[in-house]
Amino acid sequence: MKVFFNGKIVNSNSPIVSAFDRGMTFGDGLYDVVKVINGKFPFIEDHVKRLERSSKFFKMKSRYSLSEIESIALELSSVNGVEDGELFLEITRGTDTIRDHIFEEEYDPNFLEVVQPLRKIDRNLWETGAKIVTYPDMRHGLCEHKTIDLLPNVLAKNYAHSKDAYEVLMFRTQNGRKYVTEGGSSSYIFFDGERIVAPKIDNILPSITRSKVLSIAKSMDLEVIERRVWLDEVRHMKEVMLLSTVSKVMPVVKIDDMSFLFGEKTRKLASAFENLILSYRAKIS
Ligand code: PDD
Protein backbone atom coordinates (compact mmCIF):
# COMPACT_ATOMS: atom_id res chain seq x y z
CA MET A 1 0.00 0.00 0.00
CA LYS A 2 1.14 3.55 -0.70
CA VAL A 3 1.02 6.28 1.94
CA PHE A 4 1.81 9.99 1.99
CA PHE A 5 4.53 11.19 4.36
CA ASN A 6 5.85 14.77 4.53
CA GLY A 7 5.33 15.58 0.86
CA LYS A 8 6.00 12.21 -0.79
CA ILE A 9 3.97 9.16 -1.71
CA VAL A 10 5.96 6.13 -0.52
CA ASN A 11 5.48 2.43 0.24
CA SER A 12 3.88 1.89 3.64
CA ASN A 13 6.70 -0.49 4.60
CA SER A 14 9.51 1.94 3.77
CA PRO A 15 11.44 3.37 6.76
CA ILE A 16 9.99 6.88 6.89
CA VAL A 17 9.92 7.83 10.57
CA SER A 18 12.97 8.86 12.57
CA ALA A 19 13.71 7.02 15.84
CA PHE A 20 13.30 10.42 17.53
CA ASP A 21 9.94 11.30 16.04
CA ARG A 22 7.98 12.57 19.07
CA GLY A 23 5.03 10.38 18.10
CA MET A 24 7.34 7.34 18.46
CA THR A 25 8.95 8.41 21.72
CA PHE A 26 6.12 10.26 23.52
CA GLY A 27 2.86 9.67 21.65
CA ASP A 28 3.12 13.44 21.06
CA GLY A 29 0.69 13.73 18.18
CA LEU A 30 -2.86 13.90 16.88
CA TYR A 31 -4.93 11.95 14.38
CA ASP A 32 -8.29 11.80 12.68
CA VAL A 33 -10.27 9.27 10.65
CA VAL A 34 -12.54 10.23 7.75
CA LYS A 35 -14.87 7.89 5.87
CA VAL A 36 -14.09 7.14 2.21
CA ILE A 37 -17.19 6.35 0.18
CA ASN A 38 -17.51 6.27 -3.61
CA GLY A 39 -14.13 8.06 -3.73
CA LYS A 40 -15.45 10.95 -1.58
CA PHE A 41 -14.58 11.97 1.95
CA PRO A 42 -17.76 12.94 3.77
CA PHE A 43 -17.37 15.78 6.28
CA ILE A 44 -13.60 16.04 5.71
CA GLU A 45 -13.89 19.76 6.46
CA ASP A 46 -15.23 19.01 9.97
CA HIS A 47 -12.49 16.45 10.63
CA VAL A 48 -9.71 18.78 9.49
CA LYS A 49 -11.19 21.62 11.56
CA ARG A 50 -11.15 19.38 14.65
CA LEU A 51 -7.52 18.44 13.94
CA GLU A 52 -6.57 22.10 13.48
CA ARG A 53 -8.31 23.11 16.73
CA SER A 54 -6.33 20.50 18.63
CA SER A 55 -3.06 21.39 16.85
CA LYS A 56 -3.53 24.95 18.07
CA PHE A 57 -4.36 23.78 21.61
CA PHE A 58 -1.18 21.65 21.80
CA LYS A 59 0.97 24.23 19.97
CA MET A 60 1.63 21.91 17.02
CA LYS A 61 1.76 23.24 13.51
CA SER A 62 -0.64 22.07 10.81
CA ARG A 63 1.47 21.34 7.79
CA TYR A 64 -1.22 21.06 5.11
CA SER A 65 -4.44 22.89 4.31
CA LEU A 66 -7.84 21.26 3.88
CA SER A 67 -7.67 21.36 0.08
CA GLU A 68 -4.13 19.91 0.07
CA ILE A 69 -5.22 17.11 2.44
CA GLU A 70 -8.19 16.37 0.19
CA SER A 71 -6.14 16.25 -3.02
CA ILE A 72 -3.59 13.93 -1.37
CA ALA A 73 -6.50 11.72 -0.27
CA LEU A 74 -7.83 11.60 -3.84
CA GLU A 75 -4.42 10.58 -5.14
CA LEU A 76 -3.99 7.87 -2.47
CA SER A 77 -7.48 6.58 -3.10
CA SER A 78 -6.59 6.24 -6.77
CA VAL A 79 -3.09 4.66 -6.38
CA ASN A 80 -4.35 2.20 -3.75
CA GLY A 81 -7.60 1.47 -5.60
CA VAL A 82 -9.66 2.21 -2.47
CA GLU A 83 -13.02 3.84 -3.21
CA ASP A 84 -14.65 2.70 0.02
CA GLY A 85 -12.65 2.64 3.19
CA GLU A 86 -11.05 5.05 5.62
CA LEU A 87 -8.72 8.01 5.45
CA PHE A 88 -6.27 8.30 8.36
CA LEU A 89 -4.49 11.58 9.11
CA GLU A 90 -1.71 11.88 11.67
CA ILE A 91 0.43 14.82 12.80
CA THR A 92 3.28 14.45 15.27
CA ARG A 93 5.04 17.42 16.79
CA GLY A 94 8.19 16.60 14.82
CA THR A 95 11.62 15.06 15.32
CA ASP A 96 14.01 15.64 18.27
CA THR A 97 17.80 15.46 17.99
CA ILE A 98 17.85 13.50 21.23
CA ARG A 99 14.87 12.25 23.26
CA ASP A 100 13.71 15.01 25.60
CA HIS A 101 10.25 15.63 27.06
CA ILE A 102 10.73 19.39 26.72
CA PHE A 103 9.83 20.60 23.27
CA GLU A 104 11.26 23.57 21.43
CA GLU A 105 9.18 26.45 20.06
CA GLU A 106 9.97 25.59 16.45
CA TYR A 107 9.36 22.14 14.96
CA ASP A 108 8.59 20.88 11.50
CA PRO A 109 5.67 18.56 12.24
CA ASN A 110 5.60 15.11 10.66
CA PHE A 111 2.47 14.37 8.65
CA LEU A 112 1.15 10.97 7.56
CA GLU A 113 -1.88 10.34 5.38
CA VAL A 114 -3.26 6.86 4.60
CA VAL A 115 -6.22 5.65 2.53
CA GLN A 116 -6.99 2.03 3.41
CA PRO A 117 -9.87 -0.41 3.02
CA LEU A 118 -12.42 -0.41 5.83
CA ARG A 119 -11.25 -2.29 8.94
CA LYS A 120 -12.80 -5.72 9.52
CA ILE A 121 -16.40 -5.16 10.69
CA ASP A 122 -19.10 -7.83 10.57
CA ARG A 123 -21.63 -6.25 8.19
CA ASN A 124 -24.50 -8.15 9.86
CA LEU A 125 -24.08 -5.94 12.93
CA TRP A 126 -25.97 -3.09 11.22
CA GLU A 127 -28.93 -5.50 10.90
CA THR A 128 -28.68 -7.63 14.03
CA GLY A 129 -27.31 -5.00 16.41
CA ALA A 130 -24.09 -4.98 18.39
CA LYS A 131 -23.20 -6.49 21.74
CA ILE A 132 -21.29 -4.13 24.04
CA VAL A 133 -19.54 -4.57 27.39
CA THR A 134 -18.92 -1.93 30.07
CA TYR A 135 -15.35 -1.04 31.00
CA PRO A 136 -13.69 1.58 33.22
CA ASP A 137 -12.51 4.71 31.41
CA MET A 138 -8.82 4.85 32.32
CA ARG A 139 -7.83 7.62 29.94
CA HIS A 140 -6.30 11.02 30.65
CA GLY A 141 -8.10 14.34 30.97
CA LEU A 142 -7.59 15.49 27.37
CA CYS A 143 -10.10 13.21 25.62
CA GLU A 144 -11.76 16.10 23.80
CA HIS A 145 -8.76 15.85 21.48
CA LYS A 146 -7.93 12.95 19.18
CA THR A 147 -4.46 12.28 20.56
CA ILE A 148 -2.43 9.31 19.28
CA ASP A 149 -1.66 7.91 22.77
CA LEU A 150 -4.38 5.28 22.57
CA LEU A 151 -3.13 2.53 24.90
CA PRO A 152 -6.21 2.56 27.21
CA ASN A 153 -8.49 2.55 24.13
CA VAL A 154 -6.51 -0.36 22.66
CA LEU A 155 -6.85 -2.31 25.94
CA ALA A 156 -10.56 -1.48 26.12
CA LYS A 157 -11.27 -2.63 22.56
CA ASN A 158 -9.25 -5.82 23.02
CA TYR A 159 -11.22 -6.52 26.21
CA ALA A 160 -14.44 -6.18 24.18
CA HIS A 161 -13.00 -8.47 21.49
CA SER A 162 -12.08 -11.09 24.13
CA LYS A 163 -15.74 -11.03 25.30
CA ASP A 164 -17.01 -11.43 21.75
CA ALA A 165 -18.39 -7.88 21.90
CA TYR A 166 -18.07 -5.14 19.26
CA GLU A 167 -17.16 -2.28 21.59
CA VAL A 168 -16.94 -1.12 25.19
CA LEU A 169 -19.14 1.43 26.87
CA MET A 170 -16.70 3.21 29.16
CA PHE A 171 -17.64 4.77 32.49
CA ARG A 172 -16.11 7.08 35.08
CA THR A 173 -17.22 7.63 38.67
CA GLN A 174 -18.46 10.85 40.28
CA ASN A 175 -19.37 10.89 44.00
CA GLY A 176 -19.50 7.10 43.99
CA ARG A 177 -21.92 6.90 41.01
CA LYS A 178 -20.84 5.66 37.58
CA TYR A 179 -21.55 7.72 34.47
CA VAL A 180 -20.99 6.73 30.86
CA THR A 181 -18.43 8.43 28.64
CA GLU A 182 -17.91 6.81 25.21
CA GLY A 183 -16.49 3.75 23.44
CA GLY A 184 -12.87 2.89 22.63
CA SER A 185 -13.43 4.43 19.19
CA SER A 186 -17.08 5.50 19.17
CA SER A 187 -19.78 7.61 20.84
CA TYR A 188 -23.18 6.59 22.19
CA ILE A 189 -26.62 8.18 22.25
CA PHE A 190 -29.80 6.82 23.82
CA PHE A 191 -33.55 7.06 23.26
CA ASP A 192 -35.35 7.13 26.61
CA GLY A 193 -38.82 6.67 25.13
CA GLU A 194 -39.41 10.40 24.74
CA ARG A 195 -36.19 12.10 23.79
CA ILE A 196 -32.67 11.49 22.50
CA VAL A 197 -30.20 11.62 25.39
CA ALA A 198 -26.51 12.19 24.61
CA PRO A 199 -23.69 12.15 27.16
CA LYS A 200 -22.47 15.74 27.28
CA ILE A 201 -19.08 16.62 25.82
CA ASP A 202 -17.13 16.49 29.06
CA ASN A 203 -13.75 14.90 28.42
CA ILE A 204 -15.12 12.86 25.51
CA LEU A 205 -14.47 13.39 21.81
CA PRO A 206 -16.73 15.88 20.01
CA SER A 207 -17.66 13.17 17.51
CA ILE A 208 -18.53 14.40 14.01
CA THR A 209 -21.06 11.55 13.59
CA ARG A 210 -22.71 12.46 16.92
CA SER A 211 -23.06 16.08 15.89
CA LYS A 212 -24.55 15.17 12.47
CA VAL A 213 -26.97 12.62 13.98
CA LEU A 214 -28.13 15.03 16.71
CA SER A 215 -28.81 17.67 14.02
CA ILE A 216 -30.81 15.12 12.02
CA ALA A 217 -32.77 14.18 15.17
CA LYS A 218 -33.61 17.86 15.80
CA SER A 219 -34.67 18.30 12.18
CA MET A 220 -37.08 15.37 12.74
CA ASP A 221 -38.55 17.28 15.69
CA LEU A 222 -37.08 14.86 18.18
CA GLU A 223 -36.13 16.47 21.47
CA VAL A 224 -32.39 16.17 22.17
CA ILE A 225 -30.83 16.58 25.57
CA GLU A 226 -27.08 16.56 26.30
CA ARG A 227 -26.31 15.77 29.91
CA ARG A 228 -24.51 13.43 32.30
CA VAL A 229 -25.84 9.89 31.67
CA TRP A 230 -25.54 7.59 34.68
CA LEU A 231 -24.75 3.94 34.08
CA ASP A 232 -27.66 2.84 36.32
CA GLU A 233 -30.06 4.75 34.00
CA VAL A 234 -28.94 2.88 30.90
CA ARG A 235 -31.02 -0.18 31.84
CA HIS A 236 -34.18 1.94 31.41
CA MET A 237 -33.28 3.30 27.96
CA LYS A 238 -35.48 2.08 25.10
CA GLU A 239 -32.87 2.25 22.33
CA VAL A 240 -29.09 2.61 22.24
CA MET A 241 -27.07 3.78 19.23
CA LEU A 242 -23.33 3.49 18.69
CA LEU A 243 -21.90 6.23 16.47
CA SER A 244 -18.61 6.75 14.65
CA THR A 245 -17.17 7.54 11.25
CA VAL A 246 -16.59 3.85 10.52
CA SER A 247 -19.55 2.36 12.43
CA LYS A 248 -21.98 5.09 11.26
CA VAL A 249 -25.22 4.55 13.25
CA MET A 250 -25.11 1.04 14.66
CA PRO A 251 -27.94 -0.39 16.78
CA VAL A 252 -26.90 -1.76 20.18
CA VAL A 253 -28.97 -4.72 21.39
CA LYS A 254 -26.97 -5.82 24.43
CA ILE A 255 -24.83 -4.11 27.07
CA ASP A 256 -23.56 -6.67 29.63
CA ASP A 257 -26.80 -8.37 30.80
CA MET A 258 -29.11 -5.57 29.56
CA SER A 259 -31.11 -6.02 26.34
CA PHE A 260 -32.41 -3.32 23.98
CA LEU A 261 -34.60 -3.20 20.91
CA PHE A 262 -33.38 -2.24 17.45
CA GLY A 263 -36.23 0.25 17.45
CA GLU A 264 -37.82 2.69 15.10
CA LYS A 265 -35.83 5.76 16.22
CA THR A 266 -32.54 3.97 15.52
CA ARG A 267 -33.80 2.80 12.12
CA LYS A 268 -34.87 6.31 11.14
CA LEU A 269 -31.67 8.00 12.27
CA ALA A 270 -29.48 5.29 10.70
CA SER A 271 -31.22 5.62 7.38
CA ALA A 272 -31.17 9.44 7.38
CA PHE A 273 -27.45 9.43 8.26
CA GLU A 274 -26.73 6.91 5.46
CA ASN A 275 -28.51 9.24 3.01
CA LEU A 276 -26.51 12.21 4.28
CA ILE A 277 -23.23 10.37 3.66
CA LEU A 278 -24.30 9.17 0.22
CA SER A 279 -25.43 12.64 -0.83
CA TYR A 280 -22.21 14.28 0.38
CA ARG A 281 -20.75 16.68 -2.14
CA ALA A 282 -17.35 18.14 -1.45
CA LYS A 283 -17.64 21.84 -0.62
CA ILE A 284 -14.01 22.39 -1.47
CA SER A 285 -11.55 21.22 -4.08
N1 PDD B 1 -12.69 6.94 16.24
N2 PDD B 1 -14.91 8.58 20.48
C3 PDD B 1 -13.67 8.10 20.27
C4 PDD B 1 -12.79 7.85 21.45
C5 PDD B 1 -13.21 7.88 18.96
O6 PDD B 1 -11.96 7.43 18.76
C7 PDD B 1 -14.08 8.13 17.87
C8 PDD B 1 -13.67 7.91 16.45
C9 PDD B 1 -15.38 8.61 18.15
C10 PDD B 1 -16.34 8.95 17.03
O11 PDD B 1 -15.93 10.15 16.40
P12 PDD B 1 -16.28 10.46 14.88
O13 PDD B 1 -17.75 10.40 14.78
O14 PDD B 1 -15.77 11.83 14.66
O15 PDD B 1 -15.65 9.40 14.04
C16 PDD B 1 -15.75 8.85 19.46
C17 PDD B 1 -12.13 6.67 14.95
C18 PDD B 1 -13.13 6.15 13.98
C19 PDD B 1 -10.91 5.79 15.13
O20 PDD B 1 -10.21 6.01 16.13
O21 PDD B 1 -10.61 4.96 14.27
Q: What are phi and psi of 31, to 5 degrees?
A: -145, 170
Residue 9: its H or E element: strand 8-11
Cα 242 to ligand 1 centre (Å): 11
Reported for 211-214, long-range contacts at CB under 8 A and 24+ positions apart, including other chains, are 211/46, 212/43, 212/273, 212/276, 213/189, 213/241, 213/243, 213/249, 213/269, 213/273, 214/189
Cα 246 to ligand 1 centre (Å): 8
pLDDT at 121: 94
Cα 199 to ligand 1 centre (Å): 15
Cα 187 to ligand 1 centre (Å): 7
Counting ligand 1 atoms within 8 A of each CB, the residue from 205, 208, 243, 250 with the most, and so the one to mutate, is 205
Q: Is 284's pLDDT higher than 60?
A: no
Centroid of chain to Cα 46: 12
Atom 6, ligand 1: which residue's CA is nearest? Answer: 185
pLDDT in tens, 32-54: 999 999 999 999 999 999 999 99
pLDDT at 283: 61
User: Which domains can be identified in the chain, with CATH numbers?
Assistant: 2-117 (3.30.470.10), 125-284 (3.20.10.10)
Cα 152 to ligand 1 centre (Å): 14
Question: Sorting pLDDT into bands at 50, 70 and 90, what band is 105?
Answer: confident
Question: Sorting pLDDT into bands at 50, 70 and 90, what band is 150?
Answer: very high
pLDDT in tens, 217-252: 999 999 999 999 999 999 999 999 999 999 999 999
Q: What are phi and psi of 162, to 5 degrees?
A: -65, -20
Return d(Cα 266, Cα 272) in angstroms, integer: 10
Return d(Cα 213, Cα 145) in angstroms, integer: 20
Atom 20, ligand 1: which residue's CA is nearest? Answer: 185
Cα 98 to ligand 1 centre (Å): 33
Counting ligand 1 atoms within 8 A of each CB, the residue from 32, 33, 248 with the most, and so the one to mutate, is 33
Which residues line ligand 1 at a C-beta cut-off of 6 Å? 33, 182, 185-187, 205, 207-210, 243-246
